[in-house]
Amino acid sequence: MAIIGIDLGTTNSLVSVWENGHAVLIPNRFGSCLTPSVVAEAAGEICVGAPAKEKRLTEPENSAALFKRYMGLEAQAPLGDKWYSPQELSAMILRQLKRDAQEYLGEPVEEAIISVPAYFNDEQRFVTRQAGVLAGLKVERLINEPSAAALACRSLNGDEDETFLVIDFGGGTLDVSVVECFDQVIEILAVSGDNRLGGEEFDKRIARHFCREHQIEYGLLEPKQQQMLLKSAELCKRQMTEKSAALMEWTGPDGKKGLILTAEDMVRISAPLLKRMEEIVHKALRDVSMTAEDIDKVVLVGGTCRMPVIRQYIRHFMGAEPVMVKNPDEVVALGVGTYAGIKERREDIKDIVLTDICPFTLGIGVRDDSSGELIMSPVIERNCILPFSHEEEFWPVSKTQTHVAVRIYQGEAMYCKKNLFLGKIDIAVPEGSEEHRKVTVRFTYDINGILEVEAANEAGQKARKLIVNSQIRMSEKELERKIEQIKNLKYMSRDEEWNTLVLARGERLYEECLGEDRRVVAANTQWLRTVMKGKNPAAVRAARKQVERIFEYLEEKLGIDEETIGEET
């Protein structure tokens, strides 16, 4: 049975499989390999992907997106009259990807490998696996996104021994990794990143620039208007990939407004974000005592790398022309699919070894007498190779102490309060001499980047903990109940999803068009609704195709390029 590889992205998700000597992407029901990571609800039914993305533009209150950013937090998003956790929403996406894969492969799929951002902490990794379980998938392995990208780049690049830098600039995040390849070994030497720096930051800056030029207060706009403005900004950003200037248009409460953006404007608007990107690259290089000259090749992946300003800036500070992979949005997914092939021990790939690293420092807090603050005492430092286990010895601060609380933190700051608190283990300390009161703390980091901490005293007592918040760890019973719940949600059928997609597209187009075009959109939307009432599937399909063609024509006229929707077959 095939193992599938899933890139569960902030903006789009993809699924792949190892087939005939290479990783291939699996198309979804709409014929596209990109499934927007958006879930929406309409009349008590759930839809996922392209129709949900469309609905989000006109009904943001009935849809959820960008939930990957909240994985591991106690956040909930409303959909209809119910609230869902980020892992439940992710499970709905995963369930859909699993179904698409099953349809493509013609057999059931039970196991998946899912990619996660390198900076994901224990809890985020844990809930990602949990999302897989909720979707009815076994997830034995998670793989860091930059490592997956490196694996795919290696396959695309051939077998040369080289050291390369992968800059993965996606919709929501930036990941940079230094990778060394020799023989069949792909070694990740260092990773660095920013989980708040992605293509959307550029959209926001463009949108704010537009508002400034038109004296509009962005923060005072309704969520729906902000969404439309961000969409126009994104469209303009994409157009600037091919042109040196683009017209950004947006219809607000006071009518239609336009602004021409030039390449120089883009440089100015993007400057603070480009600087942040440069700092992240330097951090990764510094960690392995390298400079730009030690890098044989700079490989760009992720949709945001398509922006010419990014390429120019990288060329400027790395002193070499970066290589853009052909399909930057697909590289991580192809890497996960390659890893699925390795895990299946496929003959053509089984000898490849990928070594991954722990991207952040893990340690415990010790009291600093001079400041009274807890300071970080590292047990595992960033960039150590996984799996990894290491122990350190500690002594209680005061002679009267009967217990020590081992506080576990993740992060690079000296003061614990600036790092991420992961958990605490209490362990008794027996009375006696200094040597007797020693506590040994062992950190074990598994291949998926999940941490286990064990504390032992000299009396032979041990306390052990998987560092995952108890609220996140569900009991078997609760997990089973949730699996059933996700399974039994009412999902739209393929036809209903197509209808929803076209109707939502009509609603959005209506808001974007003016005059005669607007009347055409309204008439066609109403006509399709009337045909749908007749409940004749063949007639609905024919009407939908016709309406779609008209909408496509109008979108082309407006300069909209819907890449996540394929051709209806």
Question: Of 157-165, 302-310, 494-502, 518-526, which segment contacts ligand AMP by CB under 6 A?
Answer: 302-310
48: Cβ–Cβ under 8 A, 6 or more apart, which residues? 35, 38, 39, 40, 92, 93, 95, 96, 491
Q: Of 237, 343, 465, 508, which lies in the binding site for ligand AMP, with binding defined by CB under 6 A?
A: 237
Q: What DSSP state is assigned to residue 492?
A: P
220: Cβ–Cβ under 8 A, 6 or more apart, which residues? none
In the complex, least distance from residue 98 CB atom to ligand AMP, rounded to whole angstroms: 20
In the complex, least distance from residue 210 CB atom to ligand AMP, rounded to whole angstroms: 16
- Report the distance separating Cα 504 and Cα 252, nearest Å: 19
In the complex, least distance from residue 260 CB atom to ligand AMP, rounded to whole angstroms: 18
CB-nearer residue toward ligand AMP: 2 or 64: 64
Q: Which of 119, 117, 125, 63 is nearest to 93 (CA)?
A: 63
In the complex, least distance from residue 117 CB atom to ligand AMP, rounded to whole angstroms: 11
CB-nearer residue toward ligand AMP: 11 or 32: 11
Question: Of 76-84, 299-307, 341-349, 489-497, which segment contacts ligand AMP by CB under 6 A?
Answer: 299-307
- Report the distance separating Cα 90 and Cα 68, nearest Å: 7
Mask: binding to ligand AMP, 151-190, rule CB under 6 A, as x and -?
-------------------xx-------------------
Element (H, E) at 438: none
Q: Of 49, 117, 302, 337, which lies in the binding site for ligand AMP, with binding defined by CB under 6 A?
A: 302
Q: Are strands 185-194 and 353-355 parallel, antiparallel or unpaired?
A: parallel
Residues of this chain, 417-436, that bind ligand AMP according to CB under 6 A: none
CB atoms within 10 A of CB 405: 12
Mask: binding to ligand AMP, 2-41, rule CB under 6 A, as x and -?
-------x-xx-----------------------------
Q: Of 41, 122, 145, 329, which lies in the binding site for ligand AMP, with binding defined by CB under 6 A?
A: 329
Residue 117 lies near ligand AMP (rule: CB under 6 A): no
Say if residue 170 is exposed, middle or buried (CB neighbours under 10 Å; 0-12, 13-18, 19+).
buried
- Report the distance separating Cα 268 and Cα 274, nearest Å: 10
In the complex, least distance from residue 369 CB atom to ligand AMP, rounded to whole angstroms: 47
Q: How far apart are the first and last CA of the chain?
A: 28
CB atoms within 10 A of CB 194: 18
Q: Of 83, 138, 161, 241, which lies in the binding site for ligand AMP, with binding defined by CB under 6 A?
A: 241
3-state helix, strand and coil shares in percent for the chain, rounded to the nearest 5: 40, 30, 30
Residue 304 lies near ligand AMP (rule: CB under 6 A): yes
Question: Of 296-304, 351-359, 365-373, 511-519, which segment contacts ligand AMP by CB under 6 A?
Answer: 296-304
- Footprint of ligand AMP on this chain (CB under 6 A)? 9, 11-12, 170-171, 199-200, 234, 237-238, 241, 302-304, 306-307, 329
